[in-house]
Amino acid sequence: MAKSLPERGSGSNYSPLIPIPDNLGLEIFLDPRHPPGTADAGMLVAAERQIAADRYAAVDAEVAAANAAGDPKIPIIYEVDRIRDGRSFTTRRVVAIQHGQAIFAMSVSFHVPEAGLDHRAEMPNVPGPESLPSDTEIRQRVLPMMPDAVRRYYERERPIELRPVEFERYLGRKFPEGKFNVWIRTTGPLPDAATTHQCVLAYASDLMLLDASLMPHGRTVFDKTVMAASLDHALWFHRPFKSDEWLLYAQDSPNASGARGFARGLIFSRDGTLVASVAQEGLIRERRKA
């Protein structure tokens, strides 16, 4: 199991946040250790920590914007601002700070569970994860045939296991319809707390979504001629799920223009239940030749 994931029974926090006294009405937390790319998960935890236990509600949605690259070598400070405390909805704004500058901003909405109308999209009919190459098989059979950048990405130790349905795109095959489906789950068991699974999915949802905007062009974020970076990322939680069980991340990209790509994703549990939706805009700039 990857070291960056919490051990079973360790509580709901994705990482240990240390409260910092403040006299300005803000709630401030210090995240002393954070694996690269996990700031969004830490911000969800900070927002949830700031809500009183008797007002606890499930995370409904998060909308985040990246302002600058983070530095995994130094702690992150999270500033939590109270935006709304309503009867059904609670909203918090969280800013991640390093070197005295905001690197990430997120708005998080919490909603008290309630009954209502219900419908959902159907899960795409794709092969199950068992019929696809595992991480071990990809390393042994597929990685040697992949471009250097793709190979280095898949060789890194990650807390999330990825089984792309259209993995042949990384071998040069084109998929004109632009659909990209990936089965995802953690590499080990998680605590039962829903917050932990939401934090992990927030992290995992940003691993590959922008790449979908390059698929209609036969390109990937690993292409040396493409400069890619996330700009805005939105995630809505619809129904309960487990991030340590297989989830299908179905992605497509309805638009790319002005050096920006827009991609969206639907996340389904193994039984076909829609559990979350994602949307992202990112930079997909063609690198200028020297």
Candidate list 50, 107, 269, 280, residue with the active-site label: 280
Active site residue 12: no
CATH at residue 220: 3.10.129.10
Do 149 and 252 belong together in one domain?
yes
Do 30 and 97 belong together in one domain?
yes
Do 185 and 97 belong together in one domain?
no
The residue-averaged pLDDT of 18-31 equals: 55
Do 135 and 255 belong together in one domain?
yes
Residue 1, in any domain of the structure: no
Do 31 and 85 belong together in one domain?
yes
Residue 49, in any domain of the structure: yes
- 75 vs 186: CA distance, rounded Å: 24
| The model's pTM | 0.80
Active site residue 192: no
How high is the pLDDT of residue 131?
93
- The CB-side HSE value for 44 (13 A sphere, CA atoms) comes to 30
* Residues near 190 by beta carbon (within 8 Å), at least 6 away in sequence: 5, 6, 8, 196, 197, 200, 242, 243, 244
The residue-averaged pLDDT of 103-110 equals: 85
Q: Please, is 57 exposed, middle or buried when counting C-beta atoms within 10 Å of its C-beta (0-12, 13-18, 19+)? A: middle
* Residues near 188 by beta carbon (within 8 Å), at least 6 away in sequence: 1, 2, 5, 159, 244
Model confidence pLDDT, tens digit, residues 151-166: 777 677 778 999 999 9
Model confidence pLDDT, tens digit, residues 207-235: 889 999 998 888 888 888 899 888 899 99
Of 176 and 118, the one with more pLDDT: 118
Instruction: Write out the residue range of the structural domain in which residue 137 sits.
Output: 131-286
Residue 12, in any domain of the structure: no
Candidate list 31, 60, 206, 211, residue with the active-site label: 206
Would you call 26 helix, strand, or coil by DSSP?
coil
pLDDT greater than 70 at residue 242: yes
How high is the pLDDT of residue 282?
93
Candidate list 12, 135, 230, 232, residue with the active-site label: 230
Paired residues of 60 in beta bridges: none
Provide the percentage of residues in the chain whose pLDDT is more than 70. Answer: 74
pLDDT greater than 60 at residue 62: yes
* Residues near 141 by beta carbon (within 8 Å), at least 6 away in sequence: 133
Domain count, the chain: 2
Do 141 and 279 belong together in one domain?
yes
Active site residue 251: no
